């Protein structure tokens, strides 16, 4: 009888402990279309993404204008990454950067003309 009680107590403590362990990070891959023209744009876009909390990887391809990001869903959302890119003057998917921010871009980086 004592062994049964000990086994039950051990089982209950293991179950209770396992419920307290936080969920592992959820990595997510996404691809966004980001407007830009040159290597300066590439550096600016990638830097803005990597400064966003939870973003582990960012790569923008100049030719295809595709931004690949890997981020932790527990720390950030895709909309936060989009906002970071918009704040440095680049359009993301169907979202447009604010005109004052876009106008501060270097002449070779302006893509709307």
Is residue 89, in this structure, part of any structural domain at all? yes
CATH of the domain at 80: 3.30.70.100
Q: Is the pLDDT confidence value at 98 over 60?
A: yes
Is residue 12, in this structure, part of any structural domain at all? no
The count of structural domains within the chain is 1
**Is the separation of the CB atoms in 74 and 23 below 8 Å?**
yes
Tell me what pLDDT residue 6 has.
Answer: 67
Is residue 6, in this structure, part of any structural domain at all? no
Q: Could you read off the pLDDT of 63-84 as tens digits, one per residue?
A: 999 999 999 999 999 999 999 9
In the chain, the percentage of residues whose pLDDT exceeds 90 is: 74
The H helix count followed by the E strand count for the chain is 4, 3
Q: Could you read off the pLDDT of 21-58 as tens digits, one per residue?
A: 555 668 999 999 999 999 999 999 999 999 999 999 99
- For residue 34, the enclosing domain spans 27-109
Is residue 69, in this structure, part of any structural domain at all? yes
In whole angstroms, how large is the CA radius of gyration of the chain? Answer: 23
**Is the separation of the CB atoms in 76 and 10 below 8 Å?**
no
């Amino acid at each position: 009888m004592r062994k049964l009680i000990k086994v039950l107590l051990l089982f209950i403590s293991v179950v209770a402990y396992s419920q307290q362990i936080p969920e592992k990070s959820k990595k997510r891959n996404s691809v966004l279309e980001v407007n830009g023209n040159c290597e300066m744009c590439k550096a600016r876009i990638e830097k803005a993404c990597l400064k966003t909390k939870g973003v582990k990887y960012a790569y923008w391809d100049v030719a295809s204008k595709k931004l690949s990001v890997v981020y932790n869903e527990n720390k950030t959302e895709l909309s936060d990454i989009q906002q970071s890119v918009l704040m440095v003057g680049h359009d993301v998917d169907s979202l447009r950067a604010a005109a004052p921010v876009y106008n501060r871009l270097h002449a070779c980086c302006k893509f709307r003309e």
